[in-house]
Structure 1
Amino acid sequence: MKYIITLLFLFSISLNAQSVLNFDKRNVQCEDKWITYQMDKDSTYTFGFIYVDSQAGLTLNYEGKFKIDNDGNFIRLESTTDNEIGFMKVRLQPNRTAIAEIPDSKFNELKIEKTPDWLASYKTDENSVERLYRWGYLYNGWSECEKALTFLEKADIIDSNFKGLQTELAFSYNALGKYNKAEASLKKAIKNDPSDCYTLKELAYTYTKLLNLEKVSETYKLLKEICKTNEFIQETAYNLAYEYFKIKDKAKFKDWKTEAEKWSTSENQYTKNLNAMETELNK
């Protein structure tokens, strides 16, 4: 009977938690938010504040633990030993672990403010092109390209010629399937720096998505003339070979397969894939 009562008690706590906590967010979606992780085995919740450090990236300011009583109240737990850490900063890697935002209505119970005082030191120059670019770059790196655009497009209004900005914008646009916008941004970037190999590689990719294979070929020639990064050149040739594979143009596929293979001294994923495509075409 005692075992059943314990289970019912834990089930009651779980229901109370579910009524106020929705575990439907990822850490990269929670900048400047109070969050909590799923309930631990001891029926406690770990919580903290997620923010972005311009150098360290996504960071959790760990604040401690709390419990939820039968009435749904959040009870913040005090440190039980001198050795227990009350506050610490944890560098986060983006992941898909489901976390919950803590509702504003529970801030008083946890004795926290919506915006911690210490956050001000991380909020300097929020509207500068440098900061907007940095935040866009970070969010692109976390595959949150739509969020990245909210920063990069603001930066574009301030200074469209800021170094790296147009290429970073194009990365977002390409990821979101906005290829015409990506092309426009990349052309601006190349005008500012005609020898930027990464930008040329991105432009070739954009033309591939626009199915303008003639432009891809032209950009490939530029890459060969200007760049020493074989991977960019091989990637572009590979993408062309793949497009001709899709339309079953054996002659052009073979030409671009040969080009792609020139840029590696040993087998890699590109050459493996190309060999598999060739086998499929020859069936």
Structure 2
Amino acid sequence: MKQFLISMMMICFTQISAQMKIPADLNFTTPFYKAEDQYIVFPPKPEDKDLSLGVPYFDPSAGYSYRYLGNLKVENDKLIYTPSDRNSAITARWQNLELKVAVLSGERVKALNLPLYPEFLAGYQTDMLDRDFLLEKLSAMNGAGYSNLALADLEKLRRENYQSAKFYFELAFAYNALGQFAKAEEAVKEAEQNNFHDELMIKEMHFALLHQDKLVAAADYLEKNFKNFKSKLYKSEGIVNQIISFYNIKDSENTEKWIKIYKNEIGEDQYKSRVEDITIKLKKDKA
């Protein structure tokens, strides 16, 4: 499975304060990712005196993000806007895509004398085709641990016969992340039939086979694809997972076989101590 590192600013929000009278039209019901490119406010913490105003957006190079614009003071159901220092704009790489926020209505935006379309977003315009851009968003969701949000659109792209190596990887990754291992296997097979085959899809297929307890099939598939790995680390991870899987079902013969494969193909790396531990356990089991 891929590891997708996203830097972010941790901002924690709690229940709405009873001390602040929130205007009735500010409903905290919209998930962060669905409020993209719109003005939003977060649920205030109990001690907050003002609301935080900002805009969620998608940066193709950094994923889902948030731009803080300033504060809103609530006075007699009106919102008084105090902009942030333009020389110190705060941008956070966002992790909690399902956080419920309130989207400002067009009337509220107009009353605050804000442009209907946030001006800074011009710097994030892209010439990518719509479906390619959507795939980037779905990839970010996968990487942030929200495959549950990504899967429906990935399956829609599949029905539309959208194809690319990245697409098939993201589809297989989402299925694996959600425990739908047979569907992940099917997705990789479809990718291979369409001539898309790389080490990331090999990893997903191997993962899917192992988690369906198809250990021999997983071993055969992995060994057949050794030559297709560009990353020695990915190759090593697959071999070590194969060793662990055989050891867990007490198949000492295949465990020993794959320990030898590890020594021949990898030699030593960060997983050496793990392999040595299993080797010691095997000897104790036989004693």
The interval holding the TM-score normalised by the smaller chain is: 0.7 to 0.9
Q: Percent identity?
A: 21
Q: Contact conserved, 2:64 with 2:95, CA < 8 A, in 1?
A: no
Counterpart position of 1:8? none
Counterpart position of 2:79? 75
Q: Contact conserved, 1:26 with 1:95, CA < 8 A, in 2?
A: no
Counterpart position of 1:152? 154
Instruction: Report the secondary structure of 1:177's partner residue.
Output: coil
CA distance in 1: counterparts of 2:60 and 2:254, whole angstroms: 46
CA distance in 2: counterparts of 1:199 and 1:209, whole angstroms: 15
The equivalences for 1:1-283 within 5 A come to 13=19, 16=21, 31-32=36-37, 34-36=40-42, 38-39=44-45, 43-68=49-74, 73=77, 75-79=79-83, 84-85=85-86, 88=89, 90=91, 92-95=92-95, 100-102=100-102, 108=108, 111=111, 116-118=116-118, 128-193=130-195, 195-268=197-270, 270-279=271-280, 282=284
Q: Report the structure number with the largest CA radius of gyration.
A: 1
Larger helix share, 1 or 2: 1
1:172 positional shift = 0.5
CA distance in 1: counterparts of 2:176 and 2:130, whole angstroms: 25
Q: Contact conserved, 1:64 with 1:87, CA < 8 A, in 2?
A: no
Instruction: Report the secondary structure of 2:222's partner residue.
Output: helix
Which deviates the most, 25-34 or 250-259?
A: 25-34
User: Relative to 1, partners in 2 of residues 1:26 and 1:103: Cα closer, same or farther, differing over 3 Å?
Assistant: closer
CA distance in 2: counterparts of 1:98 and 1:149, whole angstroms: 15
User: Relative to 1, partners in 2 of residues 1:195 and 1:20: Cα closer, same or farther, differing over 3 Å?
Assistant: closer
Q: Pick 1 or 2: higher relative contact order, CA cutoff 8 A, min separation 6.
A: 2
User: Relative to 1, partners in 2 of residues 1:231 and 1:85: Cα closer, same or farther, differing over 3 Å?
Assistant: same
CA RMSD of superposed structures (Å): 4.1
- Residues 91-147 of structure 1: per-residue CA shift (max 9 Å, x gap): x3233599651265796389469x943489778899843223222222212221122
Q: Contact conserved, 1:68 with 1:74, CA < 8 A, in 2?
A: yes
User: Which runs of 5 or more residues in structure 2 are unaligned?
Assistant: 1-16
User: Relative to 1, partners in 2 of residues 1:217 and 1:64: Cα closer, same or farther, differing over 3 Å?
Assistant: same
Q: Contact conserved, 1:64 with 1:77, CA < 8 A, in 2?
A: yes
Q: Contact conserved, 1:25 with 1:101, CA < 8 A, in 2?
A: yes
Query: TM-score under structure 1 normalisation?
Result: 0.73
Q: Contact conserved, 1:36 with 1:47, CA < 8 A, in 2?
A: yes
Q: How many residues align?
A: 265
1:68 positional shift = 3.8
User: Relative to 1, partners in 2 of residues 1:100 and 1:180: Cα closer, same or farther, differing over 3 Å?
Assistant: closer
CA distance in 1: counterparts of 2:213 and 2:66, whole angstroms: 43
CA distance in 2: counterparts of 1:140 and 1:96, whole angstroms: 13
1:29 positional shift = 6.9
